[in-house]
Amino acid sequence: MKCQKCDKPATFHITELTDGNPQELHLCEEHARQYLSQSSASQLESGNVAAVLAQQMAQHMAVGQTAEELARLDRQVCPVCGISFYDFRSQGRLGCPHDYRCFEQQLNALILNIHGETEHIGKVPKSGAQASKQRTQLIQLRREMKEAITEENYERAGQLRDTIQRIEQGDDPSKTPD
C-alpha cells in the first residue's frame, strides 16, 4: 500500500475518530512524523502544553522504534511457503496456513484491530484440520520442487512432483509406485 501523500510505501496506518466516524490514514514514515507533529501543534493551541509534550515525546520515540521494528519484521520469512512479512503487507495475502503461526504476534494485533477478537467463535468444518495439514504439505512440497529445479536437481524435482500428484489424487504419499 502506498502513502496517501507520496509514492513511498505506507508503513504507518493511523485510524482517527472524527465525530465518532473512523478515518484511516496510510502514511510513510516522513508524512507520519509531519502528521503527528501537526496534530500536536493543534493541541498546543488549545493550551494543554504538558499533555502535548508528553504525547509528542512518546510519538517520536514510537515512530523511530516502529520503523526499525517494521524493517526487521519485513525480513521475517515463513519457513514453509517462503513469503516474507513485507510480501504480506504489500499483497494483503498470506502464503499458507503456517503463516498464522510464523507472523502470529503481528497478525493477532491486526485481527484484534479489525474484528475486535482473536478467537474464532462459530462453526468449523469437520475436515478443517486434516485439509489444512494437507494444504501446508502441498505448499512445502511445491516450494521444495521449485528449489530442486533451481538447483537443477531434476531427479528430486520429479520425485516431489509425483508425491504432489499422489496427494492431490487422494493416495497415500508414503506409497511409491511399482
pLDDT in tens, 96-151: 888 888 888 888 877 777 777 777 777 766 666 667 778 888 888 998 999 999 99
Within-domain flag for 21? yes
The answer to whether residue 123 is domain-embedded is no
Identify whether 112 is part of a domain.
no
| The C-alpha cell that represents 160 in the structure block | 516431489
Q: Assess if residue 63 is contained within a domain.
A: yes
Mean pLDDT for the chain overall:
75
Instruction: Answer whether residue 3 is part of any domain.
Output: no
In a domain, 93, yes or no: no
Predicted pLDDT at 164: 92
Span 70-96, average pLDDT: 82
Mean pLDDT of the 79-96 span:
82
Domain enclosing residue 143, as ranges: 128-168
Domain count, the chain: 2
Is residue 97 in a domain?
Answer: no
- Poorest-pLDDT segment among 23-27, 44-48, 132-136: 44-48
Tell me which of 177 and 50 has the higher pLDDT. 177
